Amino acid sequence: MRFRFTTLTTAALLLLSASLSFAAGTIKIGGLFSVTGPPAFLGEPERNTAKMVVDTINRTGGIKGQKLELVVYDTAGDATKAVQMATKLIRDDKVVAIIGPSTTGESMAVIPVAEREKVPLISCAAGSKITDPVKRYVFKTAQNDGLAVAKIYEYLQKHKQNKVAILTVSDGFGASGREQLKSLAGKYGVQIVLDDTYGPKDTDMTSQLTKIRGSQAQVLIVWGTNPGPAVIAKNAKQLGLKMPLYMSHGVSSKKFIALAGDAAEGVKLPSGKVIVSDVLSKHDPQKGSLMAYVKDYQKQFKAEGDHFGGHAWDAVMLLKAAIEKGGATTEGIRTGLEGLKDFHGIGGTFNFSAGDHAGLNKDAFVMVEIKNKDWMIAK
């Protein structure tokens, strides 16, 4: 018995030292994505992209000769799990930085861990409260909702339409959008004449639309993620709703067009540039990154590269740039990130500073219109 115990400990120690010596030559980073669970539509492309980018970096010589090692855990969209996994990444896996989590709720839960352990966290979620107020070790790559709202309002202002009806989904994404839509309205001279909501699982929104049809609104802005907005587009067509339909960046993937079919024609929305990368002007500074990402993703996963994957692409590449600048320590990465300027990623052009850990402005979005089942830049 005694003998067996000794052999076991020796074996364990040997294994441990082996893994340590292996780890010495690599930079270990952690990934927290909700690959399963309700937000899987975010987490799955994020994980795929992160793995793909890390592979590419390693294939092309790593970062200053050092290889990257990515440890990914699935949070299943659960904040408690995200906190456990984050602690595990920091304490057991000894990562120097963490990418993710995928949703705002999970990110908010993980932030105290990152701050306490002083490990940089690059969240892939959109909620503006993640980096507002600024937290020392927390950065994010997904564009703030407020930027999308500003883009729509700016567009409406240009087209002299100021009476809007808003229809938002009653979940985290919709609630945050609704808040932004209401708080920015004054700044752009927009008047919200009708404010209504729908449930994330609702399958018929004709009641709300009938009410909106009877109102003074000139345009309707819908804030939600699939499938709700597709149902609304179909219902609007059924009711013969004449007013132009605006949607959020939450539906900017081909999936929306597939779901809404003919009803998607003419819908306008603010979108990150990924989906329109092929029609962007070649002077756009992001064009290079975008085309590379879309091509690689298509080759590897036989699917359209989307924004969500793009958030992970940005996170890994920002990390790479930060390590090149500040070194592969937690403190080095933090300072490196904070000093990054003019980083042309997928989500936009990032400019981090001590006062801004989100780093994007509303030029990260373009207004697009759906025409002939494809995206066009809206005029």
Partner 1 sequence: MELGNQVLQYLLSGFSTGAIYALIGIGFSIIYNATGIINFAQGEFVMLGGMLTLFLMETLKLPLWAAIPLAVLLATLVGLVFERLAIRPLSKASPISLVIITIGGSILIRGLSMLIWDKDTHALPPFSGDEPIMIAGATVLPQHFWILGITVVLIGLNKWFFNHTISGKAMRACSYNPRAAGLVGIDVRRMVLLSFVISAAMGSLAGIIVAPLTMTSYDVGVMLGLKGFCAAIIGGMSSGIPTVIGGLILGVLESLGAGLISSGYKDAIAFVILLLILFIRPQGLFGKPESERV
Least Å distance, CB 171 to partner 1, is 12
**6 binding partner 1? (CB under 8 A):** no
Least Å distance, CB 281 to partner 1, is 32
**40 binding partner 1? (CB under 8 A):** yes
According to the 3-state scheme, what is the secondary structure of the chain?
CHHHHHHHHHHHHHHHHHHHHHHHCEEEEEEEECCCCCCHHHHHHHHHHHHHHHHHHHHCCCECCEEEEEEEEECCCCHHHHHHHHHHHHHCCCCCEEECCCCHHHHHHHHHHHHHHCCCEEECCCCHHHCCCCCCCEEECCCCHHHHHHHHHHHHHHCCCCEEEEEEECCHHHHHHHHHHHHHHHHHCCEEEEEEEECCCCCCCHHHHHHHHCCCCCEEEEECCCCHHHHHHHHHHHHCCCCCEEECHHHCCHHHHHHHHHHHCCCEEEECCHHHHHHCCCCCCCHHHHHHHHHHHHHHHCCCCCHHHHHHHHHHHHHHHHHHHHCCCHHHHHHHHHCCCCEECCCCEECCECCECCCCCHHHCEEEEEECCEEEECC
Least Å distance, CB 290 to partner 1, is 24
Q: Which of 65, 133, 240, 355 binds partner 1 (CB under 8 A)?
A: 240
**206 binding partner 1? (CB under 8 A):** yes
**270 binding partner 1? (CB under 8 A):** no
List binders of partner 1 among 128-167 (CB under 8 A).
Answer: none
Least Å distance, CB 262 to partner 1, is 7
Rank residues 41 and 188 by Cβ distance to partner 1 and give the closer one.
41
**214 binding partner 1? (CB under 8 A):** yes
**211 binding partner 1? (CB under 8 A):** yes
**237 binding partner 1? (CB under 8 A):** yes
Q: Which chain residues interact with partner 1 by CB under 8 A?
A: 40-41, 170, 196-199, 201-208, 210-211, 213-214, 226-227, 230-231, 234, 237-240, 255, 258-263
